[in-house]
Structure 1
Amino acid sequence: MNKIIAFVRKEIVFVISFALAVLSCFFVKPSAEYLKYINVNVLFLLFSFMAVVAGLRFCGVFDTCARALCRLTSTVRSLGIALVFMCFVFSMFITNDVALLTFVPFTILLLVKCSQKKHIVYTVVLETVAANLGSMVTPMGNPQNLFLFSLMNAGVAEFCLILLPYSIVSAVCLLGACFVLPSKPLFENNKERSDFFEAKDFVNAKSSTKGIPVTKFRTVVYIALFVLCILCVFDFISSFVLACIIAVVILIVQREILLKVDYILLLTFVCFFIFSGNIQNIPFIKAMLEKAVAGHEFLCGILASQVISNVPATLLLSPFALDLKELLIAVDLGGLGTLVASLASLISYKLYANTEGAQGGKFIKIFTLVNVIFIIVLVAFKILSGVN
Structure 2
Amino acid sequence: MNIPGLQALKRDRFFHLLLIIGVGLSLFVPFAPQAWPAAIDWRTIITLSGLMMLTKGVELSGYFDVLGRKMVRRFATERRLALFMVFSAALLSTFLTNDVALFIVVPLTLTLRKLCEIPVTRLIIFEALAVNAGSLLTPIGNPQNILLWGRSGLSFTAFTWQMAPLALAIVLTLLVVCWFAFPNKSLQYHSGTAGPQWQPRLVWSCLGLYIVFLTALELNQALAGALLVACGFLFLARRVLVSVDWTLLLVFMAMFIDVHLLIQLPVLQSVLHGVSGLSQAGLWLTAIGLSQVISNVPSTILLLNYVPPTALLAWAVNVGGFGLLPGSLANLIALRMANDRRIWWRFHLWSIPMLLWSAAVGFGLFLLI
Please say whether Structure 1 and Structure 2 have the same fold, judged by a TM-score greater than 0.5.
Answer: yes
Please name the residue that 1:290 is paired with: 272
Are the equivalent residues in 2 in contact too, given 1:108–1:120 (CA < 8 A)? yes
Q: Partners in 2 of 1:129 and 1:327 — Cα distance?
A: 20
Please name the residue that 1:207 is paired with: none
Are the equivalent residues in 2 in contact too, given 1:309–1:335 (CA < 8 A)? no
Please name the residue that 1:58 is paired with: 60
Instruction: Please state if 1:27 is matched with 2:30.
Output: yes
Q: Partners in 1 of 2:195 and 2:24 — Cα distance?
A: 46
Quick one: percent identity of the two aligned structures?
A: 19
- Once the two structures are superposed, the pairs formed by residues 266-285 of structure 1 within 5 Å of their partners are 266-271=249-254, 273-274=256-257, 284=266
Q: SS state of the match for residue 351, structure 1?
A: coil
Over 3 Å counting, the alpha-carbon distance change for 1:132 and 1:277 in structure 2 is: closer
Q: Partners in 2 of 1:353 and 1:271 — Cα distance?
A: 22
Aligned with residue 248 of structure 1, among 231, 234, 253: 231
Over 3 Å counting, the alpha-carbon distance change for 1:16 and 1:89 in structure 2 is: farther
Normalising by structure 1, what TM-score? Answer: 0.67
Instruction: Please state if 1:153 is matched with 2:141.
Output: no
Q: Partners in 2 of 1:73 and 1:148 — Cα distance?
A: 34
Please name the residue that 1:79 is paired with: 81
Q: SS state of the match for residue 150, structure 2?
A: coil
Q: Partners in 1 of 2:206 and 2:303 — Cα distance?
A: 38
Runs of 5+ unmatched residues, structure 2: 1-6
Over 3 Å counting, the alpha-carbon distance change for 1:243 and 1:37 in structure 2 is: same
Shift of 1:224: 1.7
Please name the residue that 1:209 is paired with: none
Describe the superposition over 1:3-29 as per-residue Cα deviations: whole angstroms up to 9, x where unpaired: 7994452523542565367557x6154
Describe the superposition over 1:33-87 as per-residue Cα deviations: whole angstroms up to 9, x where unpaired: 6665444333332322232223223324444333323322233432332233344
Please name the residue that 1:175 is paired with: 175
Instruction: Please state if 1:230 is matched with 2:232.
Output: no
Q: Partners in 2 of 1:337 and 1:129 — Cα distance?
A: 10
- RMSD of aligned residue pairs (Cα, Å): 4.5
Instruction: Please state if 1:220 is matched with 2:242.
Output: no
Are the equivalent residues in 1 in contact too, given 2:90–2:134 (CA < 8 A)? yes
Q: Partners in 1 of 2:257 and 2:125 — Cα distance?
A: 34
Q: Partners in 2 of 1:77 and 1:4 — Cα distance?
A: 31
Are the equivalent residues in 2 in contact too, given 1:83–1:103 (CA < 8 A)? no
- Once the two structures are superposed, the pairs formed by residues 3-14 of structure 1 within 5 Å of their partners are 6-7=10-11, 9=13, 11-12=15-16, 14=18
Over 3 Å counting, the alpha-carbon distance change for 1:51 and 1:338 in structure 2 is: same
Q: SS state of the match for residue 46, structure 1?
A: helix
Shift of 1:288: 1.8
Instruction: Please state if 1:379 is matched with 2:359.
Output: yes
Over 3 Å counting, the alpha-carbon distance change for 1:54 and 1:349 in structure 2 is: closer
Over 3 Å counting, the alpha-carbon distance change for 1:52 and 1:349 in structure 2 is: closer
Are the equivalent residues in 2 in contact too, given 1:298–1:330 (CA < 8 A)? yes
- Once the two structures are superposed, the pairs formed by residues 357-368 of structure 1 within 5 Å of their partners are 368=349
Please name the residue that 2:4 is paired with: none
Over 3 Å counting, the alpha-carbon distance change for 1:111 and 1:68 in structure 2 is: closer
Please name the residue that 1:201 is paired with: 193
Instruction: Please state if 1:102 is matched with 2:84.
Output: no
Over 3 Å counting, the alpha-carbon distance change for 1:239 and 1:201 in structure 2 is: same
Q: SS state of the match for residue 167, structure 2?
A: helix
Q: Which amino acid aligns with 1:27?
A: P
Over 3 Å counting, the alpha-carbon distance change for 1:317 and 1:350 in structure 2 is: same
Q: Partners in 2 of 1:227 and 1:337 — Cα distance?
A: 34
